[in-house]
Amino acid sequence: MTTDTPRLRPPHHRVDPRAVRWWTTRSLAVTVVLTAIPVVPALIWEPVRFWFLVAAAVIVVPGLVITLVMPRWRYRVHRWEVTDTAVYASSGWFWQEWRVAPMSRIQTVDTARGPLQRAFGLSSVTVTTASAAGPIEIAGLDHALATRVADQLTETTQAVPGDAT
């Protein structure tokens, strides 16, 4: 194996610190919506109000724990790096994965910004490869940085020989 062959290793860069607020807001929104599902009938239907409120508590307690813990944990895990030979990413919080994609295997590079990401000035970069494991997503990057990373990957992959299969 040559020395410029990409190897699985921890990536260097953290995602943007604003990603913690983005993940927290997203998780809180899901918790509120899921909690509202049993709360609304509890307000309307007196005979079974107690059971609907129990269901709401069963949803809200773990939802709030996840909302408080998950974003900070993800921030510690999520890393990314782009070199001349590969894209490196680590992600997850409960199930964690490290991925490396050689430049010659990259097929497409996309950026995405949902409404919450736009509110926090963030973007995600998705690198699609010729891999059964699926694309590599680098979520929680500053929008300007995500644009530069996508441009860099596009230029680099065009210059790297290979058929991306």
Q: List pLDDT tens digits, range 39-90.
A: 999 988 888 899 999 999 999 999 999 999 999 999 999 999 998 888 999 9
Q: Is the pLDDT of residue 37 over 50?
A: yes
Q: Which residue has the tokens 């813990």?
A: 69
The pTM is what?
0.84
Contact (Cβ atoms closer than 8 angstroms) between residue 136 and residue 89: yes
Q: What is the pLDDT at residue 165?
A: 56
Q: What is the pLDDT at residue 141?
A: 96
Q: What secondary structure, in 3-state letters, does the chain show?
A: CCCCCCCCCCCCEECCCHHHHHHHHHHHHHHHHHHHHHHHHHHHCHHHHHHHHHHHHHHHHHHHHHHHHHHHHHHHHCEEEECCCEEEEEEECCCEEEEEEEHHHEEEEEEECCHHHHHHCEEEEEEEECCCCCCEEEEEEEHHHHHHHHHHHHHHHHHCCCCCC
Q: List pLDDT tens digits, range 110-152.
A: 999 999 999 999 999 999 988 888 899 999 999 999 999 999 9
Q: What is the pLDDT at residue 152?
A: 92
